[in-house]
A = this chain, B = another copy of it.
C-alpha cells in the first residue's frame, strides 16, 4: 500500500543506511537484496520501487558512507589548531578498526572497488580527494611543493593500516594492535618538516622499474 511521502523517504534512507552497513561488513557480493530489505523493515519489492538495481543501491550506499566519513574529517580540520595528530587519532584507532559497519568506506572496501565499475570508482576518488585535502590542511610544516605528495602517502598509509589491521585481527590481535600503534606514531613524523640534510632528489627519484 501507498505510504506518506515522508515515510517513503524514511524507508529509502533506511535502505541506504542498512545497505551501507551490511556491504561494509560482508561485502557487496556477500549480502543479498532480501537481507538488506529485511534489515530496513521492508520486502525486496520495495527496494526495486526505490532503486533500479542492487548496483545502484550499492553506489548510493558508498556515496552516503563517504559523505558521513568525509564530514567527520572536515569537522576535525576546520578547528583553528587542528593538527595531523588529531586526524590520525581519529582514523588510526582500535575503535575505527572494530567498527567495520560505520567506519570509512575507503578502508572497508579498498580492494573491492577495483572490481566494481567506473561510477563506483569515481565515488571512491571523490572520497579520496576529500580525505587528502583534510590531511594536507594539517601539513603547515611541510614545504608547499611536497605537501600534496606527503598527504597522498599519508592517506594511502592510513587506509592500508586499517585494512591490514582488520585482516590480521581475526588470528593475531596483538599484531593488529601493533600495526595501529606503529602507523599512528610513524605517520605523524611525515607531517613535520623534511629532514634537513638528506633530501637528495637524485637519490629519492631513483626508480628503476616503475
Contact = CB atoms under 8 A, between A and B. Distances in A.
A166 interface: yes
* Copies of the protein in its oligomer: 2
A-side binding surface: helix, strand, loop or mixed? helix
Contacts of A171: 118-119, 121-122, 124-125
Contacts of A38: none
A74 interface: no
Nearest to A105: B111
Interface stretch (A7-15, A40-48, A65-73, A87-95): A87-95
A181 to B, nearest CB: 8
Contacts of A166: 111, 113-114
A201 to B, nearest CB: 9
B210 A89 contact: yes
Given A153-B161, A156-B157, A156-B160, A124 B182 contact: no
B186 A210 contact: no
A167 B26 contact: no
A152 interface: yes
Interface in A112-163: 112-119, 121-122, 124-125, 128-129, 148-150, 152-153, 155-161, 163
A187 interface: yes
Contacts of A117: 170
B128 A164 contact: yes
A115 B163 contact: no
Interface string A13-36: 000000000000111011000000
A85 interface: yes
Given A112-B27, A121-B170, A190-B186, A208 B89 contact: yes
A178 interface: yes
Interface in A175-210: 175, 178-190, 192-196, 198-199, 203-210
